[in-house]
Chain A
Amino acid sequence: MSENAVVFKGTKEGLYILIKEDMDLDKIKHNLNDKIKPSKRFFEGAKIVNFKGKKLTKDEFEELKELVENDYGMSVLGDYTEDPDMLSDKEESKEYTQYEKLPYDNVVQDKVLMLRATVRSGQLIEFMGNIVIVGDVNPGAQIKATGSIVVMGTMRGVAHAGSNGDYGTYVAALNLLPAQIRIGDIISRSPDGLGVRASVPEMAVVKKGMIFVEPYLPNR
């Protein structure tokens, strides 16, 4: 079972030794021995970038480094580090990097439900987070999110943003013709009659305790 306590992993930067988190030092040593012994020749002179996976103490690191360098003739290039990144062995899942500080503070990084469909009458889409609908929302349908709602199409149903009481959320749509908009506990309904509205992208926000609908691309 301890077979995979240690894994050699090649990356762009070089070779890493991945150590399983719940292994004690003796097991790791034993495992290293088992792995390297049969093909000692192959490993001789190999350059190890660093250890990864298990969080090592300074002493453990030195001990392993000595073992690898003296017994197996490899060299460890990296130094001891407490960098939490070293805990992660998923090079593939690159974290979101902010190359430049964004000029706005209204950048939201909550959970988002993406839905590519027409939401039809009687359907209720409810989500803890933001909702993005790529499609239309028909009359009689209801979209309920604790965050904001964005409809990449025509919004004709009932939209309820900030259902946990967050007035900072908004409802945006390419064509905003909802029966009702609710933000937090504020409710506003569409005007009566078949009024013709300019079909510019609009968003509904809370201002002074009321829901305002306005174009968010004023120059369109």
Chain B
Amino acid sequence: MGEVIVITSGKGGVGKTTTTANIGAGLSLEGKSIVVVDADIGLRNLDVVMGLENRIVYDLVDVVEGVCRLRQALIKDKRYNNLYLLPAAQTKDKNAVSPQQMQELTVELAKEFDYVIVDCPAGIEQGFKNAIAGASKAIVVTTPEVSAVRDADRIIGLLEANGLKNPQLIINRLRVDMVKRGDMMNIDDMIDILAIELIGVVPDDEHIVVSTNRGEPAVSNNESIAGQAYRNIVKRILGEDVPFMDLETDQGFITKLAKMFGFVKKR
């Protein structure tokens, strides 16, 4: 029985979809079998980010409505073994499925895959409720912006209210130079507010833009610092104890932070 992880954020544009694609690809590189599920019905993107848009014939709504079998709707990734995508419908909206149906669907998927990763839509309405319905674990993505952190806080509250205790946090698009100058929220402040376990910090990286546009997850790109960050996140999901990257900070605040959370052995 696999694990169902929902990637959520509340705010839009913080990198849920990119994170989903990269974690999915990363887990696949680690030899796990994965299905990534796009729960963003009506505004689907995960297929585009993964470069699989032209392969979509059936989608999640077709499966739920019984138009096709689950197997028929799953799209095999073109690069990674054991990575499958269940795309969202684009011509429908969030009300096309119910949380009950999503839960049944994820249970079905979890029987066959090691990990089911659900890409949650922005917002806290029907789409969010659908996405978290079958999840047993949640990862909250935020960026170092006051608004994103505020929304992440709201989402963590909603997740806990829905029985998803102890969500984990990914801080995305951190710009170390700006943090150094004090122009960007630093990680400590965010952890202070959100008070959940940090599972990764992804630095702002041009490679992500390129890879997203090309439909190739950055996780396999060794030159990409964000790709490295995603590889570390994947290892942490798998339960490995990986030290946080030193993002060229002399102060080593991430290391300090990591120490605080026990990811790095104290020297």
Which residues of A are interface residues toward B (Cβ below 8 A)?
121-124, 139-140, 142, 158, 179-180, 187, 189-190, 192, 194
Contact = CB atoms under 8 A, between A and B. Distances in A.
B53 A192 contact: no
B55 A194 contact: no
A180 B90 CA distance: 14
B90 A121 contact: yes
B56 interface: yes
A179 B51 CA distance: 11
Contact of B54 (A123, A142, A179): A179
Contacts of A187: 57
Interface of B: 42-44, 48, 51, 53-57, 78, 90-91, 214
A142 B91 contact: yes
B54 A140 contact: no
A4 to B, nearest CB: 49
Contacts of A123: 91
Contacts of B91: 122-124, 142
The 5 closest A-B pairs by CB, nearest first: A189-B54, A124-B91, A179-B54, A190-B54, A122-B90
17 contacts: A121-B90, A122-B43, A122-B90, A122-B91, A124-B91, A139-B48, A140-B90, A142-B90, A158-B56, A179-B53, A179-B54, A180-B56, A189-B54, A189-B55, A192-B51, A192-B54, A192-B78
Contacts of A192: 51, 54, 78
Nearest to A178: B54
A121 B56 CA distance: 14
A174 B161 CA distance: 53
Contacts of A124: 91
Contacts of B42: 122
Contacts, number: 29
Given A122-B90, A179-B54, A187-B57, 19 more contacts: A121-B90, A122-B42, A123-B91, A124-B91, A139-B53, A140-B44, A140-B53, A142-B90, A142-B91, A158-B56, A179-B53, A179-B56, A180-B54, A180-B56, A180-B57, A189-B54, A190-B54, A192-B54, A194-B214
B239 to A, nearest CB: 34
Nearest to A182: B57
Nearest to A180: B54
Contacts of A139: 48, 53
Contacts of B78: 192
Contacts of A189: 54-55
A124 to B, nearest CB: 4
Contacts of A142: 90-91
Contacts of B43: 122
Nearest to A179: B54
A139 B42 CA distance: 13
A194 B210 CA distance: 13
A139 B78 CA distance: 20
Nearest to B57: A187
A121 B43 CA distance: 8
A190 B51 CA distance: 11
A187 B57 CA distance: 9
Q: Which of B44, B55, B214 has the most CB of A within 10 A?
A: B55
A124 B57 CA distance: 14
A187 B75 CA distance: 15
Nearest to A157: B90
B173 to A, nearest CB: 25
A122 B41 CA distance: 10
Nearest to B55: A189
A31 B44 CA distance: 68
A152 B86 CA distance: 33
A158 B59 CA distance: 14
A159 to B, nearest CB: 12
Contacts of A140: 44, 53, 90
Contacts of B51: 192
Nearest to A121: B90
Contacts of A190: 54
A193 B56 CA distance: 16
Q: Find the residue from B42, B54, B214 having the highest chain A CB count within 10 A.
A: B54
